[in-house]
Amino acid sequence: MGKIVGDSPLALPMVCLHCAANIKENLGERMIDSFGRPTLRKNEQEGPLSVSYSICPECGEKAQVWQRRRGIALCVLVCLLIAGPVSLGLLFAVFYSPTGLDRAALIFAFVFIFIFIVDVGGIYGVAYCEAKAPNRLALSRAVGDTMVLSGAGRKFVERFQE
């Protein structure tokens, strides 16, 4: 089902988590993720669950590129969300007059629609970058030391499927 199941601490093989390429010596990055245990009792003193895995240089670089693009899209979106209402207010103040109300309303409507379309594009850009970036592992479920992880690449799961 696309999940990794193992006991903590889990050490995945020296294969890229996303593209399933073999990691050669000193190439790639070994990562360690720790997850808090979902507990029902507050007095439980067990340590966190942990997993170590590898990322090849190509997938690591691809993740950084998509994270930078997401950051740029997010900055543009925030700037537009701030600048949009300010520019609409200024436009309405400049073009408003009792005789020119129709013209002011028309300009206001066009600018509002333009800013709305650009903001929707910014939201789509952030979501697209988030979807394209390789994901980190996430804890789906844990029972004792056995954990179920999601977020591995399809090729990795297919390579090690039993």
Model confidence at 135, pLDDT cuts 50, 70, 90, reads confident
- CA distance linking residue 127 with residue 106, whole number of Å: 32
Convert the pLDDT of each residue in 63-93 to its tens digit: 888 888 888 888 888 887 787 777 777 766 6
pLDDT value of residue 45: 57
- CA distance linking residue 98 with residue 81, whole number of Å: 29
With residue 34 as reference, give the H or E element that holds it: strand 29-35
| Residues in CB range of 112: below 8 A, 6 or more apart | 88
pLDDT value of residue 99: 61
Residue with more model confidence, 46 or 142: 142
Nearest to 12 by CA among 38, 50, 46: 50
Model confidence at 42, pLDDT cuts 50, 70, 90, reads low
What integer is the mean pLDDT of 41-46?
57
Half-sphere exposure of 1 (CA within 13 A, CB side): 6
Whether 40 has a pLDDT exceeding 60, the answer reads no
Identify whether the C-beta of residue 53 lies closer than 8 Å to the C-beta of residue 12. yes
Q: For residue 54, list its beta bridge partners.
A: 16, 30
